Amino acid sequence: MHRRTLAELAAGLRKKEFSSVELTRHYLERIERGQPALNAFVTITREQALAAAEAADRELAAGRGGPLTGVPIVHKDIFCTQGVLTTCASRMLSNFVSPYDATVVAKLKAAGTVMLGKANMDEFAMGSSNETSWYGPVRNPWNPELVPGGSSGGSAAAVAARLAPAATATDTGGSIRQPAALCGVTGIKPTYGRVSRYGMIAFASSLDQGGVITVSAEDAALVLGAMAGFDPQDSTSVDTPVPDYTATLNDSVEGLKIGLLKEFFDKGLDPENEQRVREALAVYERLGARLQEVSLPNLPLSVPTYYVVAPAECSSNLARYDGVRFGYRCENPRDLMDLYKRTRGEGFGAEVKRRIMTGTYVLSAGYYDAYYLKAQKVRQLIARDFERAFQEVDVLIGPTTPTPAFALGAKTSDPITMYLNDIYTIGANLAGLPAISIPCGFVRGLPVGLQIVGRHFAEAKILNVAHVYQRETDWHLRVPPGWA
C-alpha cells in the first residue's frame, strides 16, 4: 500500500479496497521499523491514529467524507496539536503539551485525515540539515550517513521512506523545498498568507509559511486545498478564495513562458545538478513551453538579507521562553535573573542561541538603521526584481539546491557554509511568493530538486507545471533502497 501515492490511497479508500484502520496500521508498522534508522519522528500517536481511522471508516461506510477522509498524515512538530507533545525539537518545549490545535491541524482533522505522529525537525525550525534537533539528527533515507535537509527534514524523510503519504511542513527560507529536494520528494511553500500561521510556533513571522511535503504534485494539490484559506485568528492571513488546485493540474503548458534565473546557474551550482535541471527544462520545451533567461540582479543579496531579518524576528519571538509560564525551567534558580539566564542557556541549542544573539545585535541601538532597516530595503528591491520578471514570464524555474545531500557533520562547524545551502530558496520567502520543489533526476545516486516559482497566489499554476512534468517522468516515484 505504501507504494501508492496519496491520491491513489484516497481512491482505494473510497472503493473499499482497504480500510483506513488497515492503512493506518500498515504505516504505523513501517514507522516503528524505520524510526531507529531515520529518527524522523519525535512522537508517534498510535492510539489516537487508530481511533481516528476507525472514525474515518464509519464516515466512509455511511457514504460521507471527503477526498482526504481516512488518509494518514504526519505533522511537523512545529504545529500545535491538542493533547499531544509539541516540542519544536527543542529542550525548551520538551514537556509542552498543547491545549489546542493549530489551524492547519484543525483543518486537516476536519478533512478526515489521520495523524500518525509528529515529525522531527531542526530546533525551532532553525537549520538546513536537521542536525540541530534536541532529539538528534534525522537521516536521509537515500543514505543514512547524509542529511535529509532542514528544517523540515523529518517530514521529508518520512515521506521519502514511505512512512507516511504526506507531511505538513514549514518554510522560512527554504525549509520545505530544500529537504524535499535532498530526499527526492515534492514540497510546496504557498504564498505568504495563504495558509494560517495560527498555532504554528513562530520563528520569523514575516517569512514563516506552512505547506506540505508529498510524493507528487497531485498529492500536494489535494492536501494544500484542505489546508489553505482565510483564518481570522491570524492577522497575516489573506482573505482570498481558495481554488480547486486539482482542477487545473492537467492544463497544457504549450506556450508557457518559463524564466531561467540567471543568478541560479552560477559557479556555485554543482555541474551535475545543473545537467539534471537542464534535462528537465528540455522536457518542458518538448511539451511546447518557451524558455527565456531572466535576471534578478538583487537576488545574490538574499542570503545576507535573510540572515539579518530572520534572526531579528527570531530574537523577538523567542523572548517568550523564559521559564516562567510554560516549557523548560532550570532547577533551583537563585533569583529571577538566574532563572532567565539558566533556563534560556540550558533550554536552547547552539544554533538558536547564535540566531537570537545575531538578531538582538542587529536590533540594538545604533545598529538598527545600519543592519535591520537596510536589510528590509534590500528585501523590497528583491521583491521588485521578481515583480519585473513576472511581467515577462509565467513561472521561474531553476535548481532548488546547489548540491545533492551532504554528509552529517560536514557543515555544522561552519555556519556560513551551511547558510549558503539555502541560496536558491530564500528569495521566494523574502518576496512572499509560492514555490515548489520536485525531483528531476539523480546525481551519484542522490536526488536532485527542480524549483518552480510563481506569482503571488499562483499555487494552481506551479502545481500544474509540476504535475505536467511528473506525468512525463517517474523521478518522484523512485523509492530509496531498502524502503520499497
pLDDT of 130 > 90? The answer is yes
Residue 179 has pLDDT above 90, yes or no: yes
When pLDDT is averaged across residues 365-386 and rounded to a whole number, the result is 94
Percent pLDDT > 70 in the chain is 100
User: In the prediction, which pLDDT does 416 show?
Assistant: 82
Separation of alpha carbons 317 and 334, rounded Å:
26
* pLDDT for the residue 60: 97
Instruction: Say how far apart CA 438 and CA 270 lie, in whole Å.
Output: 18
Residue 365 banded pLDDT, cuts 50, 70, 90: confident
pLDDT at 415: 84
- Tens of pLDDT, residue by residue over 100-116, are 999 999 999 999 999 99
Quick one: pLDDT at residue 266?
82
Show the CA angle centred on residue 118, arms to residues 117 and 121, nearest 5°: 150
pLDDT category of residue 413 using cuts at 50, 70 and 90: confident
Burial class (CB in 10 A: 0-12, 13-18, 19+), 320: exposed
Q: String of b and e for 236-266 (b: at least 16 CB within 10 Å)?
A: ebbeeebeebbeebeeebeebebbbbebbee
Structural domain including 116 reads 6-256+434-477
Residue 247 has which C-alpha cell? 482542477
Question: Is 285 inside a domain boundary?
Answer: no
List the catalytic residues: 76, 151, 175
Asked, for residue 53, whether it belongs to a domain, the answer is: yes
Give domain status of residue 301, yes or no: no
Grid coordinates given for 228: 489553505
Provide the number of structural domains found in the chain.
Answer: 1
Q: Is 252 contained in some domain?
A: yes
In a domain, 117, yes or no: yes
Which triple of cell numbers denotes residue 141?
533515507
CATH at 172: 3.90.1300.10
- Domain-located, residue 159: yes
Specify whether the CB–CB gap between 115 and 22 falls below 8 A: no
In a domain, 101, yes or no: yes
Residue 182 lies in a domain: yes
Lowest mean pLDDT among 35-49, 178-192, 405-419: 405-419
User: In the predicted model, is pLDDT for residue 246 greater than 90?
Assistant: yes
Q: Averaged over 186-192, what is the pLDDT? A: 98
Q: In sequence order, what E strands does 57-104 have?
A: 72-76
How does the average pLDDT of the chain come out, rounded?
97
